[in-house]
Amino acid sequence: MYETREVMVVAEDGESITLVVPTKLLTEERAELLRAAFSGKVAFLEIEFLDDHWKGRVRAKVPSHKPELADLAAEAMTFMGAIVDKRYRWKDELYVESEGYWAHGF
Decide if 104 is inside a domain: no
Note whether residue 16 is domain-resident: no
| 31 belongs to a structural domain | yes
- Is position 3 within any domain? no
**Which residue segment(s) compose the domain that 90 sits in?**
25-98
18's enclosing H/E stretch is: strand 16-22
- Residue 106 pLDDT more than 70? no
pLDDT of residue 67: 93
The answer to whether the CB of 7 falls within 8 A of the CB of 17 is no
**37 within some domain:** yes
Contact 102, 55 (CB under 8 A): yes
Any domain includes 47 = yes
In a domain, 78, yes or no: yes
Give 1-39 pLDDT, tens digit per residue: 567 788 888 988 989 988 887 777 778 898 899 999 998
Return the sign of the alpha-carbon dihedral for residues 86, 48, 67, 22: negative
Distance (Å, whole) CA 94 – CA 71: 10
Q: What total number of domains does the chain contain? A: 1
Residue 52 lies in a domain: yes
Look at residue 72 and tell me whether its pLDDT is greater than 90.
Answer: yes
Confidence grade of residue 80 (pLDDT, cut at 50, 70, 90): confident
Q: What is the average per-residue pLDDT within 80-96?
A: 92
The whole-number average pLDDT for the span 66-87 is: 91
Say what the pTM is. Answer: 0.72
